[in-house]
Amino acid sequence: MEKLIVRGPVSLQGKVRIGGSKNAALPILAASLLGTSPSLLRNVPDLLDVRTMLSVLENVGAQVEKIDRHTYRVGPASLRNCEPSYELIRKMRASFLITGPLLSRLGRAKVPLPGGCAIGSRPIDLHLKGFAHLGVEVIQSAGYVEAKAGLLHGGEIYLDFPSVGATENLMMLAASIPGETLIINAAKEPEVVDLARFLTLMGAEIQGVGTDVVLVKGKKNLQGVEYEIMNDRIEAGTFCVAAAITQGEVEIEGVDLGHIFPIVTKLEETGARVEKTGERTLLVTMRERPRAINIKTMPHPGFPTDMQAQFTALLCIAEGVSVITETIFESRFAHVGELERMGANIQVEGRSVIVRGVETLNAAQVAASDLRAGAALILAGLAAQGETEISGLFHIDRGYEAIEEKLNALGACIKRVKDADRGNADVE
């Protein structure tokens, strides 16, 4: 088993370049199945989740060609298998996004239920109800969703909650059905907008994306296209917090300010200075101990749940008492117990945590239980006294490309070791 050994405290200085977005790449890879010809995708991040999605595409019969580390060609002509393997689908929630494209191309899909995870139960009822409105017959049995396309048609779909995944799955199916589909209370996340741009280039007509009412005018034959995936706003936000928690000065390149406005605003409230130094470049400077703030996660453009754990780490060393409320996932607080091992003073009250800032955190042995919890532990380790040992790296590798290399280039001391090497861990 691998572990990260993070030696703190450090003050990060320098420049970091943000990579392609996991949450945009995953649906766009799935959507590439909708074309009648291959798509060439650029800026695909090199992550475990992406590798899983590429395996899912191959498993259903698509041809995947790696051009370079961040560029793939996906050939959908050979698609033939509407029953992707349980072993692949169970690895990540986003693999359920294959369902819309399979229904469109093969008229049937038998997909294992993606199940819950450490952050909540994460049902898929909104995806399924939406499919039914477009002419799909859906049966759930023995852990599988069996969906059969009858005569597919456009329709009007109201989502009880602006689910990112449901909006994406439905947009993909609707884009390939001749007819008009209205999605009301749609998700507005930038990754949904990126997917809509891709589908539009392929030939669909999509209006209102980025608002809560989206009109999709589908086309029977979508074309494969060349597309560059947007950069990762959550990776950018994580590096913003890394600068702040280490009282450092970090220039973050390749970030769309419009995507991270709530993150920047809350960071400024803690006392950080955030300057736009270029079209897509931010300079984050922190000169003092952070101040306590309150945060409530919300669907976009509200504060993203995917940044909640990282901000919780920052607020552990803030002056004063912070209240962080999680409204998206019912149990996204697994990082709290691990931060407590490092000396944080946090109390969980229902869907909120009350963080009483301490002056310093201390290194400890901790475990990542999900992706952003893992990021929060790395951030806490950068600020803590001593060598923090983080296990559960699988979760971190799902969604961060080369995180320790990027942080080390900014002056961090992080080493990845096999458990057996731990005795000789030599953190430079």
Ligand X SMILES: C=C(OP(=O)(O)O)C(=O)O
What residues form the annotated binding site? 22-23, 93, 122-126, 306, 328
Cβ nearer to ligand UD1, comparing 21 with 246: 21
Q: How far is the CB of 256 from ligand X (least distance, A)?
A: 17
Cβ nearer to ligand UD1, comparing 200 with 331: 331
Stretch that binds ligand X, among 86-94, 214-222, 255-263, 291-299 (CB under 6 A): 86-94
Q: How far is the CB of 370 from ligand UD1 (least distance, A)?
A: 10
Residues 6+ apart with CB under 8 A from 118: 331, 334, 369, 370, 373
Cβ nearer to ligand X, comparing 86 with 365: 86
In sequence order, what DSSP letters do the residues of 224-261 get, joined into one string? P-EEEPPB-HHHHHHHHHHHHHTT-EEEEES--GGGSH
Sole residue written with tokens 């051009």: 67
With CB atoms as reference, the residue minimizing the distance to ligand X is 306
Give the CA-trace dihedral at 88, 90, 92, 93, to 10 degrees.
130
> Which of the choices ligand X, ligand UD1, none does residue 163 contact, using the CB cut-off of 5 to 8 A by kind?
ligand UD1
Stretch that binds ligand X, among 3-11, 92-100, 237-245, 285-293 (CB under 6 A): 92-100
For the question of residue 413 being annotated catalytic, the response is no
Q: Does 62 bind ligand X (CB under 6 A)?
A: no
Residues 6+ apart with CB under 8 A from 109: 82, 83, 98, 99, 102, 103, 145, 146, 147
Q: Does 399 bind ligand X (CB under 6 A)?
A: yes
Window 107-146: residues binding ligand X (CB under 6 A): 119
Neighbours of 160 (CB within 10 A): 10
Q: Does 401 bind ligand X (CB under 6 A)?
A: no
Q: How far is the CB of 324 from ligand UD1 (least distance, A)?
A: 15
Q: Where are the beta strands (DSSP E) in 287-328?
A: 295-296, 321-325
Task: Extract the tokens encoding 324.
Answer: 């962080």
Give the distance, in angstroms, between the CA of residue 55 and the centroid of all CA atoms in the same chain.
Answer: 19
Cβ nearer to ligand X, comparing 10 with 375: 375
Cβ nearer to ligand X, comparing 29 with 92: 92
Q: Does 98 bind ligand X (CB under 6 A)?
A: no
Residues binding ligand UD1 (CB under 6 A): 23, 26, 93-94, 120, 122-127, 161, 163-166, 187, 191, 305-306, 328-329
- Round to whole Å and give the CA distance between 90 and 112: 7
- Round to whole Å and give the CA distance between 54 and 288: 44
- Round to whole Å and give the CA distance between 29 and 229: 10
Annotated binding site for UDP-N-acetyl-alpha-D-glucosamine: 93, 122-126, 306, 328
Cβ nearer to ligand UD1, comparing 304 with 357: 304
- Round to whole Å and give the CA distance between 243 and 286: 7
The one catalytic residue in 82, 117, 316, 413 is: 117
Q: Does 93 bind ligand X (CB under 6 A)?
A: yes
With CB atoms as reference, the residue minimizing the distance to ligand UD1 is 165
Annotated binding site for phosphoenolpyruvate: 22-23
Q: Does 193 bind ligand X (CB under 6 A)?
A: no
Q: How far is the CB of 265 from ligand X (least distance, A)?
A: 20
Q: Where are the alpha helices (DSSP H) in 164-248?
A: 164-175, 190-202, 233-245
DSSP annotation of 368 reads -
DSSP annotation of 319 reads B
Give the CA-trace dihedral at 62, 60, 80, 31, to 10 degrees.
-60
User: Which residues are bridge partners to 252 per DSSP?
Assistant: 16, 282
Cβ nearer to ligand UD1, comparing 12 with 54: 54
- Round to whole Å and give the CA distance between 244 and 343: 19
Q: How far is the CB of 338 from ligand X (least distance, A)?
A: 16
> Which of the choices ligand X, ligand UD1, none does residue 335 contact, using the CB cut-off of 5 to 8 A by kind?
none
Q: Does 306 bind ligand X (CB under 6 A)?
A: yes
Q: Does 284 bind ligand X (CB under 6 A)?
A: no
> Which of the choices ligand UD1, ligand X, none does residue 399 contact, using the CB cut-off of 5 to 8 A by kind?
ligand X
Alpha carbon separation from 157 to 135, 151, 366, 400 (Å, rounded)? 12, 17, 44, 34
Q: Does 92 bind ligand X (CB under 6 A)?
A: yes
- The catalytic site residues sit at 117
Which residues of this protein are in contact with ligand X, per CB under 6 A?
23, 92-94, 119, 306, 371-372, 399
